[in-house]
Structure 1
Amino acid sequence: MSTVTAPAPRPLTALAGVRRAAWLLGALSWSAFAVLEAVRHGWLAGLLAFAFFVAPDLTFLVGLSDARRMAKGQLPPRAVPYYNAAHRALVPLVLLALAAVAPVTWAPAFAALSGWLAHISYDRAFGYGLRTKEGFQRG
């Protein structure tokens, strides 16, 4: 029986530090958009912003039964596709672009997508990214 070990963490380079700072700036901006939309458009916008802020990490529940057998920091491999799909910034950005050109707009949708983008941005700012097929953080 072979065991899978986590890859060695990469040192934080100057470019990586700049990237993280940019992601943090984005996270703060998307958070501000979500809060402003909630204040302007009411409780439903605030509730959706919060729900979409939390929702990407609910993908951890997919592999909960396998979690005890995983190495430290490893996500169960069957949860990886869901985790990666929920943590790709392109998905909510495309939805925002579609909402911008749609004939009908709904403010709570913008708040929800802002919350989702804030979550992704905070993850990247704090060093959490997409996962390999084995469930470890990509380098």
Structure 2
Amino acid sequence: MVTTEPDGATKSSTSTVVRVVWGVVGILLLAWDVFEAVKHAGWVYPAAALGLVLPELPRLAGLGRGHAPGRLAPRAVPLYNLLNRPLIPFAVMVVFSFLGDSPDDIAAPFTFGMSWLTTIALTRALGQGLRTPDGRLR
């Protein structure tokens, strides 16, 4: 259930326990991201940076468009919802865990997926999540 704030913005009704769990997962993933980036360096840095911003990029589709505070532009919702599903970056991590001949071969794509999952976890901890077709929080 989503509640509406006085200014028309939406507020998530996700329980505090669920948000805390997402926060703990996000912090652990962030620590693992930093560890992997420092350990492997090279292409891992840009891959990690891209993974951190990728789930939020669809928000750019709504810039300059009139929409209610706290809502996402309706044209950005399908891509936003796709990029904010935890199963996709988790699948990237699993698939790349089995590819390559050495850990250095898979470090960048694995860390990309992990950074992507980190962003999803931290935004869920902040009460954000998937959106309805009109841009409200689900």
**Alignment-derived partner of residue 52 in structure 1:** 51
Cα separation, 1, equivalents of 2:44 and 2:12: 39
Q: CA RMSD in A?
A: 2.0
| 8 A contact 2:9–2:70 mirrored in 1 | no
TM-score norm. by structure 2 comes to 0.83
Say yes or no: does 1:133 pair with 2:130: no
- Unmatched runs of 5 consecutive residues or more in structure 1: none
Segments of 5+ residues of structure 2 without an aligned counterpart are 1-6
Partner residue of 1:95? 92
Superposition deviation, residue 100 in structure 1: 2.4
Deviations along 1:41-95, one digit per CA (max 9) or x if unpaired, are 01321221122101221111122242xx211111110100011111110110112
**Normalized per residue, which structure has more helix?**
1
Tell me the residue number matched to 2:4: none
Aligned residues: 129
2:73 aligns with one of 76, 89, 94: 76
Tell me: CA distance 1:70–1:132, structure 2 relative to 1, closer, same or farther (3 Å).
same
Q: How does 1:1-139 map to 2 (within 5 A)?
A: 6=8, 9=11, 16-66=15-65, 69-104=66-101, 105-138=105-138
1:11 CA drift (Å): 5.4
Of Structure 1 and Structure 2, the greater strand share is in 2
